[in-house]
Amino acid sequence: MAFSELIKDHERIRDYMRQFYVYGFKSREEYDAKSARSYDNERRRIESWLGDYMSFWQDANGKRLFLSVDSRAIRYNPLYQSFKAKSFTDKDIALHFFILDIVADPCSLTVREIVERIENNYLSHFDDAFSLDESTVRKKLKEYENLGLLTAERNGREVRYHLSADTVNLDSWMDAVAFFSEENPAGVIGSFLLDKADVPPSYFGFKHHYILHALDSQVLLDLLTAMREHRAVTLVLRSQHSHKELRRVVYPLKIYASVQGGRRYLLGWHYGRKSITFYRLDAICQVTPGAVDGEHDDYMACYTRFRKYLWGVSTSTVHGVEHIEMTVCVGEGEAHIPQRLQREKRNGTVTQLDAHTWQFAADVYDAAELLPWIRTFIGRITELRCSNQMVVDRFYADLERLRQMYGGEDDAV
Amino acid sequence: MAAILKEAAEHTLTGDKLDQIIREKAFAESSLSIPAALRKKWPLLKNDLTTPIQHPPSMPLTSLQKRWLKTLLQDARIALFAPDMNGLEDTEPLFNLDDIVYFDQYLDGDPYGDAVYREVFRFVLQAVKERRSIRLRYQGRTAPCCVVCMPYRLEYSEKDDKFRILAVGKGKRYIINMARIQHCDLLEQTDMGGFHEPQPRCRTLTFILQDERNTLERALLHFSHFEKETVRLSEYEYRVTLRYEKDDETELLIRVLSFGPMIQVISPDHFIELLRERLKKQSSCEL
C-alpha cells in the first residue's frame, strides 16, 4: 500500500512522537514495539508534519532522530499537527464540501434532495467521478448532525437537514483562543479554531511550557467527560518497561498535572483494590466509558480526606504519615527565600524561628517525595529532620556525592 | 483544501497559487499527494482550475468547539480577554476545570480578578497589537519606577501562574511582571519598519545523567521544554546538552540541584562554579 502522511489511528504514532521528543537517542533498531517498516512509515509521517523541528545525529551504530523544540520560542504547539493528519476517503472529502456548499443557501432538504443536488450540480462536472448511493449520504448527514454542523428536523418519517445556527462571534474570541489553545488542557480544540483565522494572533509566549501533553489530549478528554458524567471507565494501560497491556476499571476523580515536571496523572478510585490510585496519563492507551456510578459523593469524600497528606502523587503508606521539617537560614536582603517557602509549599506550614531562620514542616504520605524540592535549598539548609530517618540519610548521602562530584569543599578542583 | 476551493470558486486559482497554498497550509509531502488526488480522485477541481462549489467553503462551529469555548468561561483568566459570550447560552461546558489539580503550581499567581491588573493587561495587549509604546509605572525593589517601552509579547508561565511583558526601549530588553504594574499609559504608534524582536542571550549547559531512580525519564521530561539533545554513553549514562536563556540561570541552577548527584554538570565552567558555591555555603550551614 502506498505511503500516506495521514493516519487513521492517532494512538499508533503517539508513542513514536513521545520517544523522539523526550529521549531522542534511540536508533531504528531500538524501537522494538513495532516492525522496522512501521518505524520508517511513522518517522516519515512525523518528518512530514514537523520537519522544522526534527534533527538527527549519527554514530557507528546508526542514525538517531529526535524532535527538539524550545517551547519558549514558538507561538503554537507543533505537536497538534498530529491531530490534523487524520485520514479520510475520497468520498469523505468530496461529500464534505458538497454538503456544506448545498446547505450554505438557506434551505431545508431531505436526503434524497441532497443526493440529487450532489449528482446534478457537482458530480456531473466530472466524467470519472465515483458513484453515489443514498445510504452513504445519509450516514454522512447523521455524522454531521452529531458533530453539530447540521440540524435535522423530523416530521414523521421525513428528515430535513439545514446548516446549524452559529451566532458565536469567533473574532471576539481569537485572543482568548490563541492563549488557551496552549494553556487549556484540551487546547487542541482551540488549535482547530485558530486555523479558521486568516492570521492567528501571535502575541503570546509561554515559559515552562510542556507541549508534550498535546499527545494525550484524546485520553484526557475522554477522562474529563467521564468525570463530568460521573461514569466509571475501563483503562487500557501500557507498561512503560514491558509494553504489556493491562486493564483497570476505575472511577475517575481528578487529573493531577505537574507544571514543574511535565507529567500528568489520573487520580481514580480503583474498584478492585478499593483505594485511590494514580495512573500516568501517557501510559493510558484507551478509555472506555462505563456505567454511571451513584457513589460519586462517597468517592469525593474519600478523596478529600486522602489529599490532606499528598505532596505529589506518591501514596506510599508503608510508614503511615511521615513528618518532615526543614530549617533554612535567610541572610539580609534575602526576603525571596521565605517567599519561596510560602509559594512553593503544597501543604504544611512555614514558621519564622528568629530574624534569620525559617522552618518548613509538613506531614505527608511519602517524605522522600520532597527531596527534589529540598535540594533546591542547598546552600542554606541548617537542619533536616524526618520521622523516616532514611529520608534524611538519603539527603546527606546525596549531598556527599555532590561534594565528591564537584571537588570537595575547600579544595575544589 | 478549503483555501484552494475558495480561490477556485472566485476563479482566481492558478497552478502556482495551488502550490503556494499547499506549501503554506499543508504538510511537507502534501505537495505531492494533494495535486495528484485533485487530478484523479477528488471531484472538486476541474481541469481549468475552477470548481462546481458555489460558495467560499466555511463551516459553523462544531458542538465540541462551542463546548470548549464555554469551558473557558470557567477560567479566571478569561476576564483578561472579555470575549462576546452570545451564542453559547444553551451550550454545556465540555468539562469542569476544577477537575484538574495543578499540584505543584506556585501559590502566588497573578490577581486575574483585580480591576487594575485587568486594565493593565488589556492596555498592554492593545499596545502589542497596534504596535504602540506604553509608559509603565511600577514599584521597583527600592523605589517607584517608570519606563517607556514597546511591548512585543505577553509571556505566561504555568509554573509561576504569572504573565510577564517582554518589551524593548532605548535599546534595552525588558521583562516586567504584569502584576507589579500599577499604571499603564498607551502612547503613540511606533514605526516598526526596522523592528527586530530582540534575541535573548542564550547559553549551553551540558550534564552527565546517571539513570538511577528513574532519573532518565524524570529529567528528560522535566527539561523537555528546552531545545536539547541527548546522547547515550553507556547503559546507565547519558550526556544531555540544552540551551537556556542567561536570565534564567539561577532558576536552572536550582532545577539541576533538585536532581542531586544523578546529574553532573560538565560545562560551562562558571555554572559548575555556581554549584560549588552552593555546596560550600551548605557546608558552612552545617557547622
Regarding whether A304 and A326 lie in a shared domain, the answer is no
Regarding whether B89 and B130 lie in a shared domain, the answer is no
pLDDT digits (tens, 9 = 90+) for A63-97: 888 888 999 999 999 999 999 988 899 999 999 99
pLDDT digits (tens, 9 = 90+) for A258-284: 999 999 999 999 999 999 999 999 999
Residue-number span of the structural domain to which A201 is assigned: 170-209
Question: Quick one: closest CA in A to B159, which residue?
Answer: A259
Regarding whether B275 and B216 lie in a shared domain, the answer is yes
**Model confidence at A343: pLDDT above 70:** yes
**Model confidence at B98: pLDDT above 50:** yes
Provide the 10 A C-beta neighbour count for residue A191. Answer: 23
Regarding whether A398 and A334 lie in a shared domain, the answer is yes
Q: Among B34, B42, B160, B204, which would you mutate to test the A interface (most chain A Cβ atoms within 10 Å of its Cβ)?
A: B42
Task: Please answer whether residues A344 and A336 qualify as being in contact, where contact means their C-beta atoms are separated by less than 8 angstroms.
Answer: no
Residue A79 placed within a domain: no
To the nearest whole angstrom, how far is the Cα of B133 from the nearest Cα of chain A?
15
Instruction: Say whether B260 and A375 touch across the interface (CB within 8 A).
Output: yes
Q: What is the pLDDT of residue B142?
A: 83
Regarding whether A400 and A331 lie in a shared domain, the answer is yes
Regarding whether B211 and B268 lie in a shared domain, the answer is yes
pLDDT digits (tens, 9 = 90+) for A365-409: 999 999 999 999 999 999 999 999 999 999 999 999 999 999 865
Regarding whether B240 and B178 lie in a shared domain, the answer is no
What CA–CA distance (Å, rounded) separates B131 from B134?
Answer: 10
Regarding whether B79 and B52 lie in a shared domain, the answer is no
Q: The domain that contains B157 carries what CATH number?
A: 2.30.30
B213 inside 8 A of chain A by CB: no
What type of residue is B224?
Answer: S
Beta carbons within 8 Å of A389's beta carbon, 6+ residues apart: none
User: What stretches of chain B show up as alpha helix (H) in DSSP?
Assistant: 2-9, 15-25, 30-40, 63-72, 115-130, 215-222, 249-257, 269-285
pLDDT digits (tens, 9 = 90+) for A109-155: 999 999 999 999 999 999 888 888 999 999 999 999 999 999 999 98
Regarding whether A157 and A106 lie in a shared domain, the answer is yes
Residue B109 placed within a domain: no
- How distant, in Å, are the alpha carbons of A18, A102, A308, B3 from that of A186? 18, 32, 28, 26
DSSP string, A102-148: HTTSS--B-HHHHHHHIIIIIGGG-TTPPP--HHHHHHHHHHHHHHT
Q: Which helix (H) or strand (E) holds A43?
A: helix A36-50
Residue A216 placed within a domain: no
Residue A413 placed within a domain: no
Task: Please answer whether residues B92 and B67 qualify as being in contact, where contact means their C-beta atoms are separated by less than 8 angstroms.
Answer: yes
Regarding whether A155 and A100 lie in a shared domain, the answer is yes
- Of the candidates B138, B164, B189, which is a domain's last residue? B189
Q: What is the pLDDT of residue A412?
A: 41
A165 inside 8 A of chain B by CB: yes
What CA–CA distance (Å, rounded) separates B42 from B56?
Answer: 18
Pick from B63, B72, B101: which is nearest to A255 by CB? B101
Residue-number span of the structural domain to which B142 is assigned: 115-189
B positions 14-53 inside 8 Å of A (CB): 27-30, 33, 37, 41-44, 46, 52-53
Q: Average pLDDT over chain A, rounded to whole? A: 92
Q: Among A69, A72, A410, which would you mutate to test the B interface (most chain B Cβ atoms within 10 Å of its Cβ)?
A: A72
- Give the residue with greater pLDDT, A204 vs B287: A204
A257 inside 8 A of chain B by CB: yes
Residue A315 placed within a domain: no
- How distant, in Å, are the alpha carbons of A101, A234, A286, B36 from that of A289? 36, 7, 10, 41
Regarding whether B279 and B207 lie in a shared domain, the answer is yes
Nearest to A221 by CA among A281, A283, A154, A146: A281
Nearest to A373 by CA among A282, A281, A264, A260: A260
A313 inside 8 A of chain B by CB: yes
Regarding whether A68 and A122 lie in a shared domain, the answer is no
A positions 190-229 inside 8 Å of B (CB): 190, 192-193, 201, 203-212, 221, 224-225, 227-228
**Model confidence at A2: pLDDT above 80:** no
Regarding whether B209 and B154 lie in a shared domain, the answer is no
Regarding whether A194 and A121 lie in a shared domain, the answer is no
Q: What is the pLDDT of residue A127?
A: 87
Regarding whether A344 and A278 lie in a shared domain, the answer is no
Among A52-66, A124-138, A297-311, B126-140, whose mean pLDDT is lowest?
A52-66
Number of structural domains (chain B) is 4
- Of the candidates A283, A309, A335, which is a domain's last residue? A309
pLDDT digits (tens, 9 = 90+) for A278-303: 999 999 999 999 999 999 999 999 99
A71 inside 8 A of chain B by CB: yes
| Chain B residues with beta carbon closer than 8 angstroms to that of A221 | 94-95
Regarding whether A268 and A249 lie in a shared domain, the answer is yes
Q: Is the pTM of this model over 0.90?
A: yes
| Chain A residues with beta carbon closer than 8 angstroms to that of B77 | 179-180, 183
Residue B195 placed within a domain: no
B6 inside 8 A of chain A by CB: no
Instruction: Say whether B225 and A224 touch across the interface (CB within 8 A).
Output: no
Residue A83 placed within a domain: no
Residue A220 placed within a domain: no
Note the ipTM here. 0.94
B positions 60-79 inside 8 Å of A (CB): 60-66, 68-69, 71-72, 75, 77-78
- Rounded to an integer, the average pLDDT of B209-231 is 95
The size of the A-B interface in CB pairs under 8 A is 325
Regarding whether B210 and B170 lie in a shared domain, the answer is no
Regarding whether A371 and A345 lie in a shared domain, the answer is yes
A337 inside 8 A of chain B by CB: no
Q: The domain that contains A272 carries what CATH number?
A: 2.30.30
Q: The domain that contains B277 carries what CATH number?
A: 3.30.70.120
- Rounded to an integer, the average pLDDT of B18-32 is 89
Q: What is the pLDDT of residue A55?
A: 86
**Model confidence at B190: pLDDT above 80:** no
Instruction: Say whether B230 and A5 touch across the interface (CB within 8 A).
Output: no
Q: What is the pLDDT of residue A56?
A: 85
Instruction: Say whether B46 and A126 touch across the interface (CB within 8 A).
Output: yes
Residue A221 placed within a domain: no
Q: What is the pLDDT of residue A408?
A: 60
Nearest to A209 by CA among B202, B227, B209, B206: B227
Number of structural domains (chain A) is 5
What type of residue is A358?
Answer: W
Residue A34 placed within a domain: yes
